[in-house]
Amino acid sequence: MPGRRPLVFGNWKMNGLGQDTRALSDRLKAFGPITRGTLGVFPPFTQLQAVAEKLRGSGIVVGAQDCHEAANGAYTGSVSAAMVADTGATAVILGHSERRHGLGESDALVNAKAKSALDAGLALLVICIGETESEYLDKQTLAVLDRQVEGSIPADIDPDRLVVAYEPVWAIGTGRTPSREEIASVHAHLRGRLAAHLKGDGRSVAIQYGGSVKGANAPVILGIADVDGALVGGASLDPVDFAKIFTAGGGSFAAPGS
């Protein structure tokens, strides 16, 4: 696992046909080799192998947006972690709020998927946690996050294979973000919670912030203590803005061809 800062990942969600993802991959490669930090993209399943092949050797992490908890079997329409690895991808996002709250995925299911991903040899798991707006207004944020950490993350995971993405559900795609003080407080709390929960060095785990991160607000968000990077949604589909987020956190590219 590279150094904690900056770690910027783009979740392309259900966006991109072949021509789109090839063009976006080419634009990202054109920025030049990465000399500091870690950049990653998570395309839809239909484009995963093509993007992994396109970005091979670029230093850009390629991962899937989900995987099934079983290694194989009669699960029509599902994709196992081994299938993800077979495409050339090396990472996976698990427990995104759009699956937790849109599809009813539980902490236990996310945990089972994490174990399957580890067994399949995926190098990096991005496990998402976050509170809904009603939980935020009821001041239940920290209690919700504690429950999700305990229930979703295998306690014996190698901390070098884990990234935790804190995404307040009410901020995703809304243009709203918590205050700088709220983000700092939550990330500091998570640092301690992970240290207590994991058998390895939980304090070394990278913690990303996600929720309407753009080039314009990235310098403030990525300058907060204990924020090691960002999980980016819509802005990751704009290569210029995505690169701006990465460099705002201290990431850098070498000149192309250098």
Catalytic residues: 96, 167
C-alpha to C-alpha distance for 121 and 115, rounded to whole angstroms: 10
- The tokens describing 163, both together, are 């990234």
186-194 contact pairs (CB < 8 A, 24+): 186/141, 186/142, 186/145, 187/224, 187/225, 187/226, 187/227, 188/225, 188/226, 189/142, 189/145, 190/145, 190/149, 190/164, 190/166, 190/226, 191/226, 193/145, 193/146, 193/149, 194/149, 194/153, 194/159, 194/164
In Å, how far from its chain's centre is CA 153? Answer: 14
